[in-house]
Amino acid sequence: MTTLVSRDTAVPAPRACPVTHAPSAGATVADLAAAVEFVEQFHLETVPAQTLRGRLDEVRREIDSTGSYTHTPAELAFGARVAWRNAARCIGRLYWNSLHVRDRRTVRAPADVAAECVGHLRDATRGGRIRSTITIFAPDRPGVPGPRIHNEQLIRYAGHRTPSGEVRGDGRYAEFTDRVVAMGWKRPEPAGRFDVLPLMVSEGDGEPELHEIPPDAVLEVPLVHPEYTWFADLRLRWHAVPAISNMPLEFGGITYPAAPFNGWYLGTEIGARNLADADRYDLLPVLAERLGMDTTSPRTLWRDRAMLEMMRAVQHSFDVAGVTMADHHTESERFLTHVEREERAGRRCPADWSWIVPPVSGGLTPVYHRYYDAPDPDARPAYLPPAP
């Protein structure tokens, strides 16, 4: 089993990677020094059939001739996996070397990209036995930018603005929902709280297109509570695969602007953030009222208690449905195992403490009680924040 745990939260740059700057759509000639550095690293950590000198000669000739070069399939997989290994904000890096790589570098037309994104979801879902997966589309080439996926994740729920000014659904995506509606997307009638948004894809700097995700490609888990039967009356659910889709992959001087990747959920992502945050579903007051809690003062800790019950429901529901989900205690222990392995390999293991420590019960986890190597914003390979 693999995991590529990313915090599914309301922030501009998903918490799976260090903060750097994504290249513009007009990326030009590949950086020869970056290419050489990557090929040398690939030959140092693997056992390629080709000699290092021979491969470097090929890369130099190709860059001189075309302004870019093509990674071998082995280099592509290595780059994607090491980018995960370098992701200073990801707690789930123990299994970085088993990331499943789907090579779709010949694909750039929006309709074809969208179809392959649907294929990614189906390949990664596997009936609930979630597999860490990345699909890599055409790279940026001199004068020919690769495709872009404008959705933050492949699966996101719409936020429908109501006449009263409230949002029905995910408040985080009200603006994106307005945008796709302006492009022609028809809101479901009636508008629901868990309406899957269409994919917005463009070929380079071209006009984006909208493509629906078929319902059978989106596995969702209805949420119930192990004790409170009334919880089912809330009619909550969440999708099984958290596939980040707007973060470029960069290594060896080449940028792949569309490279959606997923792991599986950490229970806190859904229970303590997506359904709990005030700008998302803001359900803690609803649970507190149902549980008869005193909400007159934060000193009663009603938010803490309601959040714990929400997390219990999420974890229980995924377990009952047979859908892979990690918990923050186990994942914290696994992360320290990863740190130890990296140190034994003679590598630094950068980590952003504020992102590695879970948003619930941080002090009860082993990752809380130590310091880590500082993240290197220039580390490559890397998953980069989306271009503005």
Residue numbers annotated as active site = 90, 93, 264, 269
The backbone region for 127, taken as left when phi is positive above 0, alpha when psi lies in -120 to 50, beta otherwise, is left
Residue 158 near residue 179 (C-beta atoms within 8 A): no
The sign of the torsion formed by the CA atoms of 29, 152, 265, 260 equals negative
